[in-house]
Amino acid sequence: MNFPDLAGRTAVITGGARGIGYSLASALARQSVNVALLDLLPEVADSAARLADEHGVQTASALVDVTDPVSVDAAFADVRGELGVADILITAAGITIWGDSAEVEPDTWRKVIDVNLNGTFFSTQAFARPLLAEGREGSAILISSMSGRVVNVPQHQASYNASKAAVDQLTSSLAVEWAPALRVNAIAPGYILSDMTRQFIDANPDLAAQWISAIPAGRMGEPADLDGLVLLLASSASSYLTGQTLVIDGGYTAI
């Protein structure tokens, strides 16, 4: 797959040090997109250096707490200083914490909402400001989840489900507000074998079999299964597509 209009553009990926964020950053780098990785994990600098070595693109990195708008603004400013104004954004920073909703601690609930919803908003806001100020076009791709529209079982993750449903509505709201200059879409992955998912199924080995039994495609997704959709959304090939959350789940939510 090739999207020649992406070459030479600049993307910022939150949660880019590993997992889905890094996989999508690699997909963009293969299209000659310059990439900045933002993450709370200290290995983010090594991940950015690896991307540059493997794909010959310019990269940058910054440590960031996406729940802190001051930290987010500083990270985006650092990226602009190194790579210029980014016109592609992927918000892959996110967490889930399982637990019985009747017993969940308020701080645990707030943490999931803070990272997944507030962190997504602060990052998208910091991305949009310079583009809107300069009258430039851009594409923001927010990482939602099929959990924004279905209740996953058997795990209890009400905070995660609620946060991703909110990301879907945030996507539509920002797309309408910032059109026509900026396009804002989301992708809603199903069960993807990310680092986070692998940790859960390693700790709960029966889960993988239960999940797969409910997926018409007969398997869990790999991070690379998201590449084509994200490249399409980043590219001008989707110039009339905005305000949408696109589910990519092997058919799970179709049942």
The residues annotated as belonging to the active site are 160
φ, ψ of residue 2 in degrees (nearest 5): -140, 130
Interatomic CA distance for residues 75 and 81, integer angstroms: 10
**Residue 117 gets which letter from DSSP?**
I
Instruction: Identify the bridge partners of residue 12 per DSSP, sorted by sequence position.
Output: 36, 89
Interatomic CA distance for residues 131 and 143, integer angstroms: 20
Token output for 240? 């009339």
Rg (CA), the chain: 17
Cα dist from 33 to 69, 131, 202, 207, 228, whole Å: 26, 17, 34, 37, 15
How would you class 101 by CB atoms within 10 Å of its CB: exposed for 0-12, middle for 13-18, buried for 19 or more? exposed
Give the residue carrying structure tokens 């918000």.
Answer: 91
Interatomic CA distance for residues 172 and 243, integer angstroms: 4
Which residues, 6+ apart, have CB-to-CB distance to 223 below 8 Å? 19, 20, 23, 24, 192, 193, 194
